[in-house]
Structure 1
Amino acid sequence: MIDLVSLKDFLVLCQTRSFSRAAERCHVSVSGLSRRIQGLEQWIGAPLFDRRTAALELTQPGERLQAISSEVVYALEGLRKSIKADGEDRQQRIRFAAPHIMSAVFFPDWVPRLHNDFRSAKFSVSSDNLPECFEMLAEGSVDYVVALFDEAGAVAARAGSACEAGDCLVLELGRERLVPVSAPNAAGGPLFDLRDPAGAPVSFLGYAEECHLGWSLAPLLERHAELRLQRHHEASLTDGLRFMALSRLGVAWLPQALVREDLDAGRLVRAGGTSLEVPLRFMLMRRRAPLAEQAERLWRHLGELVRAEAPAQGEPVLESVA
């Protein structure tokens, strides 16, 4: 019979060439070490040491086993350490999937707020379109999905089946708005004005079909059929639409956090009133199945914040996280 302990004891004996010294290093009795070596010899079918000399000498089969055992023990020890490290890393890792926009308007502000309470945690974010994010959640390759949901339910209706039949738990993490913006004209007003009483056609910068922010915007545009929008350009990423708006190509509905600095600096201006804005909510979603240690701790932490803050309507739930 062969096992890892016997191979490691054999290698120690190869180094010391002494049963007594090897037994001391292996924390086993001399007789116990001798039985292990005899077991190896029975398994291999040949003596491993020449015991006729004062100092043990390896036989030819012993030399061959020594070479192979060194590689085997090294590989198995490396595998054990790697698996242990992977398990420890998994317990500390918190995995998110989120649409691309969240990397601009959510995570840069949110993750630092959690730093003091989650110093040992490792945050990872996978960016994709929302249906693919829900697929990752359903497969268990991420712990959470974070996305912007509209109050009309347009995104929820199209988000996929990952949270059907009450299989998901949800927390609201804050509020956001889609606001219509345009490059300014010479007078400082919107170059593309949705409030133009003349009702002139307005160049519209729209979201590509796969972008969930476009799903949230669609009900508002249906309600305001009086807007004469001409869809000239589109993009799947908000950064693309922002660049087009800055380039004076039309009006775009963009997350307020994304364009706040542009509005403050006058590079962009609002192209319509508050009735043309789309209220959104930052929603955190998970499966009911148990998560890894740090991911579960995050859920409990956020749940406690929600209950403690009980924020007024419109205030972000995580405002107090520092």
Structure 2
Amino acid sequence: MDLQQMRYVVALAETRNFTRAAERCDVVQSSLSHRIAGLERELGVRLFARSSRRVELTSAGTAFLAAARDCLAAADRAVADAAAAAGVVRGRLAVGVIVTTAAVDIPDLLQRYRASYPDVHVRLRAGGSDELAAAVRTGDLDIAFLGLPEGERPAGVESLALDHDRHVLIVPAGHRLAGAAPVTLREIADETYVDFTAGTPARAQSDQAFAAAGLVRDVAYEAGFAELVPGLVARGLGVALMPSAFIRPVVAADPALALVPVVDGPRRVEYLAWSRFNPSPATRALLDVLGVRGRSQE
């Protein structure tokens, strides 16, 4: 068994297609098929169930896949560490980003990172703050940009507060509050709301603010991703509270929406989070580009 065979197994497991797996590994399909079949003979088990139309992992394949990924990650880290010792940063960097990130211009950051470390391959993953923080803790992500309610910090990871922001209310342009002076949560508690999925940090920011004020509101529409919220509001389905720095440019570009300041609205803190256990050279390099290393983490 060798690392290349493991890479073939991982590629086939993720694509579920021999042709796409071979393209990803930059080999001909027959070679990939032959090497995987040889590995199955060596192990004495079938890793994949195959038909003319489908490829799926067997139970043995599922068990093998997790260990194979760990072995490949360890091998990649060994190569990256050896290169870093010689003054060259290479390898892979997995970055998690919430869609509403506003404290850092992610494309600009990656452009600067690429200019300094062109041998690092970057994988971006979008998701919720709780999901991304968990991925950093397990090592599935190297670093992540998160947003949490004020007073909460990412658990089990190193973190740095990047920015503090207050939510604003977004309403349809024809709404009675469009163009109004700043309002309070009590004045808008009876509105119908569009918000994020219950149980997520993005939703908790507004839920906690209303609960602290002793207020109850009606959330009629739950959206799993931020891009959907302004569209629902623009069509008159409800109003929404969203982070100011993220939503202001969106509203400025859409005449169907209006912003209303909220005096006692929810507050959000954007965090940078990374593994507290032996971060990779590529991770340390990104922290350098951000100017994080050596800064206080309060």
TM-score class normalised by the smaller sequence: 0.5 to 0.7
Match of 1:254 among 223, 242, 245: 242
CA–CA distance in structure 1, aligned partners of residues 102 and 252 of structure 2: 21
CA–CA distance in structure 1, aligned partners of residues 245 and 212 of structure 2: 25
CA–CA distance in structure 2, aligned partners of residues 303 and 252 of structure 1: 33
Opposite residue 174 of structure 1, the aligned amino acid is D
* Counterpart in the other structure of 2:12: none
Match of 1:303 among 262, 278, 292: 292
CA–CA distance in structure 1, aligned partners of residues 108 and 246 of structure 2: 12
* Counterpart in the other structure of 2:125: 126
* Counterpart in the other structure of 1:181: 170
Match of 2:211 among 203, 222, 228: 222
Q: CA deviation at 1:245?
A: 1.0
CA–CA distance in structure 2, aligned partners of residues 244 and 132 of structure 1: 25
Q: CA deviation at 1:177?
A: 3.5
CA–CA distance in structure 2, aligned partners of residues 304 and 200 of structure 1: 43
TM-score by length of 2: 0.58
Question: Relative to structure 1, is the Cα distance of residues 176 and 188 closer, same or farther in structure 2, using a 3 angstrom cutoff?
Answer: closer
* Contact 2:232-2:238 at 8 Å conserved across structures: yes
Please say which of residues 126-135 and 288-297 is displaced more in the overlay: 126-135
CA–CA distance in structure 1, aligned partners of residues 212 and 110 of structure 2: 36
- Listed as ranges, the matches of 1:196-211 within 5 Å are 201-211=190-200
Question: Relative to structure 1, is the Cα distance of residues 263 and 138 closer, same or farther in structure 2, using a 3 angstrom cutoff?
Answer: closer
Match of 1:170 among 139, 159, 168: 159
* Contact 2:165-2:245 at 8 Å conserved across structures: yes
* Contact 1:133-1:145 at 8 Å conserved across structures: yes
SS at match of 1:133: helix
Question: Relative to structure 1, is the Cα distance of residues 194 and 257 closer, same or farther in structure 2, using a 3 angstrom cutoff?
Answer: same
Question: Relative to structure 1, is the Cα distance of residues 223 and 270 closer, same or farther in structure 2, using a 3 angstrom cutoff?
Answer: farther
Q: CA deviation at 1:198?
A: 8.2
- Listed as ranges, the matches of 1:109-124 within 5 Å are 109-124=108-123
CA–CA distance in structure 2, aligned partners of residues 140 and 197 of structure 1: 43
How many residues matched? 217
- The reply on whether 1:286 has 2:285 as its aligned counterpart is no
Match of 2:251 among 253, 263, 266: 263
* Contact 1:174-1:281 at 8 Å conserved across structures: yes
CA–CA distance in structure 2, aligned partners of residues 144 and 200 of structure 1: 37
Question: Relative to structure 1, is the Cα distance of residues 201 and 132 closer, same or farther in structure 2, using a 3 angstrom cutoff?
Answer: closer
CA–CA distance in structure 2, aligned partners of residues 147 and 94 of structure 1: 17
Question: Relative to structure 1, is the Cα distance of residues 121 and 241 closer, same or farther in structure 2, using a 3 angstrom cutoff?
Answer: same
Q: CA deviation at 1:243?
A: 1.3
CA–CA distance in structure 2, aligned partners of residues 128 and 94 of structure 1: 17
* Contact 2:95-2:124 at 8 Å conserved across structures: yes
CA–CA distance in structure 2, aligned partners of residues 114 and 282 of structure 1: 21
| Uncovered stretches (5+) of structure 2, i.e. residues with no partner | 1-33, 39-74, 84-88
Opposite residue 232 of structure 1, the aligned amino acid is A
CA–CA distance in structure 1, aligned partners of residues 259 and 102 of structure 2: 23
* Contact 1:211-1:237 at 8 Å conserved across structures: no
* Counterpart in the other structure of 1:95: 94
* Contact 1:182-1:190 at 8 Å conserved across structures: no
SS at match of 2:282: helix
Larger Rg: 1
Q: Deviations over 1:96-142 (max 9, x none)?
A: 23344449985345433544444443321222333332332232222
Match of 1:233 among 221, 228, 253: 221
Q: CA deviation at 1:304?
A: 4.6
* Contact 2:184-2:263 at 8 Å conserved across structures: no
Q: CA deviation at 1:241?
A: 1.4
Q: Deviations over 1:219-247 (max 9, x none)?
A: 21113345x73322111211121211121
Q: CA deviation at 1:214?
A: 0.6
Q: CA deviation at 1:298?
A: 2.2
SS at match of 2:292: helix
* Contact 2:95-2:125 at 8 Å conserved across structures: yes
Percentage of identical aligned residues: 14
Opposite residue 286 of structure 2, the aligned amino acid is L
SS at match of 2:146: strand
Q: CA deviation at 1:208?
A: 1.1
TM-score by length of 1: 0.54
* Counterpart in the other structure of 1:274: 263
CA–CA distance in structure 2, aligned partners of residues 137 and 205 of structure 1: 29
